């Protein structure tokens, strides 16, 4: 099965565009993963400091928009636990997306190499 030069050129353009799109999405996903990792580290540091500096029955000031609310420590640590779970879920989803995009980039590169290798012969 041979392709005309026009069909081959269209296929190369489509594969090249797909490769660029997958690469851009992969870079955005990697940036999001770095952001999640930073947020998770900040959350863990906050939990560690709260554990070391407070005792049961204490209150903390939590920021809500432009105000601060006095919140019982138990409630606040519960909120931090929920945020930690959300970050963990988001990180898991981003890792899956990253794996998918890495495979897509690799397959697109292989297809481009195969077509360009076949076109040279």
pLDDT tens digit string along 29-60? 999 999 999 999 999 999 999 988 888 888 99
Cα 74 from Cα 50, distance rounded (Å): 10
In the prediction, which pLDDT does 82 show? 96
The pair of structure tokens assigned to 48 is 């560690």
- The DSSP string of 62-112 is EEETTEEEEEEHHHHHHHHHHHHHHHHHHHHHHHHHHHHHHHHHHHHHHHH
pLDDT score at 119: 58
Going by the DSSP 8-state scheme, the letter that residue 60 receives in this structure is E
Q: Which residues of the chain have pLDDT under 70?
A: 1-2, 118-121
pLDDT score of 109: 93
Residue 72's pLDDT is 92
Question: What pLDDT was estimated at residue 70?
Answer: 94
3-state SS assignment for residue 59 = strand
Selected from 3.80.30.20, 3.90.420.10, 3.40.50.300, 1.10.287.370, the CATH number assigned to the domain covering 13-77+91-120 reads 1.10.287.370
Classify burial at 76, counting beta carbons within 10 Å of its beta carbon; exposed 0-12, middle 13-18, buried 19 or more. Answer: buried
**What are the φ/ψ torsions at residue 64 (nearest 5 degrees)?**
-130, 100
**C-alpha distances in angstroms, 28 versus 1, 31, 42, 52, 100?**
38, 5, 21, 36, 13
């Amino acid at each position: 099965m041979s392709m005309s030069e026009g069909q081959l050129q269209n296929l190369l353009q489509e594969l090249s565009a797909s490769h660029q799109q997958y690469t851009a999405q992969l870079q955005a996903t990697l940036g999001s993963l770095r952001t999640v990792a930073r947020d998770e580290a900040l959350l863990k540091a906050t939990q560690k400091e709260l554990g070391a500096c407070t005792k049961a029955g204490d209150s903390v000031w939590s920021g809500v928009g432009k105000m601060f609310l006095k919140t019982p420590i138990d409630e606040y640590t519960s909120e931090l636990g929920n945020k930690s779970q959300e970050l963990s879920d988001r990180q898991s989803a981003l890792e899956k997306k990253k794996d998918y995009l890495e495979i897509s980039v690799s397959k697109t590169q292989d297809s481009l190499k195969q077509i360009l290798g076949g076109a040279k012969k």
